[in-house]
Amino acid sequence: MKEKPTYTIIGEDTVIQGAIKVKGSIMISGIVNGDIVAGDAVRISPGGKIKGNVKSKEVYLNGEITQGVNAKQKVELGPKSILTGDLISRKLIVEEGAKLFGKCEINDQDNSNIVKNQTNK
């Protein structure tokens, strides 16, 4: 029997210091100070903030990421999203109002390396 993927939720009043790794998907409404690796999708809701690299199959951003995003399939930047760092993905969808400060690389390659923010802060 195939195991169903898990869905982890980080609430809006939660602050996590350190890296997170999940097999399934994760939704973040709180603050994460560390890298995130997810086997499926990472969803950052308005008010959600990540200070670290995000690596996943898909990333749906409507909050903030400060560092890099590496998605094997696609990244969606919602109208309230702020990405300060580099982005690598096969597909990128940008809604009106989204903000991207960094380099963007769209390709059909295997994007297996985590992107490092090249901006000195």
User: Could you report the per-residue pLDDT of 42-70, keeping only the tens digit for each?
Assistant: 999 999 999 999 999 999 999 999 999 99
Nearest to 54 by CA among 64, 45, 67: 67
Could you tell me the pLDDT band of residue 108, with boundaries at 50, 70 and 90?
confident
Could you tell me the pLDDT band of residue 116, with boundaries at 50, 70 and 90?
very low
pTM for the model: 0.85
**Cβ-contact 49, 67 below 8 angstroms:** no
- What percentage of the chain exceeds 70 in pLDDT? 85
